[in-house]
Amino acid sequence: MTTPPTVGAVIITMGTRPAELQDLLDSVAKQQGAPIEVALVGNGSPLPVIEREHLRTAELPENLGIPGGRNVGVELLGPGGRDVDVVLFLDDDGLLPGDDTGELVRQAFAQDPELGIISFRIADPQTGETQRRHVPRLRAADPMRNSRVTTFLGGACAVRTEVIRQVGGLPEQFFYAHEETDLAWRALDAGWMIDYRSDLVLYHPATSPARHAVYHRLVARNRVWLARRNLPWPLVPVYLGVWLTLTLVRRPSGSALRAWFGGFREGWATPCGPRRPMRWRTVWRLTRLGRPPII
């Protein structure tokens, strides 16, 4: 009999939601099956006193951003996460409503050796609604439909640690926004698959990403970095041109548009990290999965 994959969880916190963090830890602890080892990272903030089994902690002197904090959490689970087979990335104000999430994750990875990443469904705890932006595909009208996808939700997902060891972790210089797609594209180029699973749920209050003051600048900068790092050069202007058009169609405010153009310029003027363009057969693979890498 095949041994079920071992599962760990990475949670980063800035210390602003202690009650929600405790609730999330409780929901992880109640999961069926083998205990889930938790790596809790204080991202530029001290951690509260937490006495729990299966908990590893680190306090960072400065905020490394979401991808940087999550990478530290992975290393807490052994180099490249080697102490576990699968790592859950969970937002500190999220909650696992079911006690079978860990077991469903184990089953999914055990049954499909090509599966590298699972994206969970995010639902508002009050309404049960899943925002359209939380369904990682173009045809997002039905959040209950499972499918293969080309990206995933960074705060509600499961990643095989072999993927991280093979293609590298999240791009720390991104700080916030699009780091998941960068990892997803590298994973797909290496032959892994990504699933969206509506039955794996994380409760999270419905919010707007634009609530963050730096949202528009970082989204623009990181879009450019994403293209520069991962796309064949002929696709870079196409990808960014489509994105520019969609942005203008949405008619952002003047201040948002100024921040956006500032980020766009920054994306071209600053180092983006190593360039590893995906193969053309990966471009075709993404297209067959419903999202060619120009949208």
Strands 86-91 and 7-13: parallel
Whole-number Å distance between alpha carbons of 123 and 204: 6
Q: Could you give phi then psi for residue 231, rounded to 5 degrees? A: -100, 145
Report whether 179 contacts 222 (CB < 8 A). yes
- Give the pLDDT of the chain (295 residues) as one tens digit per residue: 478 999 999 999 999 999 999 999 999 999 999 999 999 999 999 998 898 999 999 999 999 999 999 999 999 999 999 999 999 999 999 999 999 999 999 999 999 999 999 999 999 999 999 999 999 999 999 999 999 999 999 999 999 999 999 999 999 999 999 999 999 999 999 999 999 999 999 999 987 765 556 899 999 999 999 999 999 999 999 999 999 999 999 888 899 999 999 999 999 999 999 999 999 999 999 999 999 999 8
Give the angle 70-93-211 at the CA atoms, nearest 5°: 90
**What are the tokens at 168?**
């590298």
DSSP string for 161-216? HHHHHHH----GGG-SSSHHHHHHHHHHHTT-EEEEEEEEEEE-----GGGSTTHH
Q: Domains in the chain, start-ordered, CATH in brackets?
A: 7-207 (3.90.550.10), 210-288 (no CATH)
Provide the whole-model pTM. 0.96
Q: Where are the beta strands (DSSP E) in the chain?
A: 7-13, 37-43, 55-60, 86-91, 115-123, 147-148, 156-160, 193-203
Length of the chain measured in residues:
295
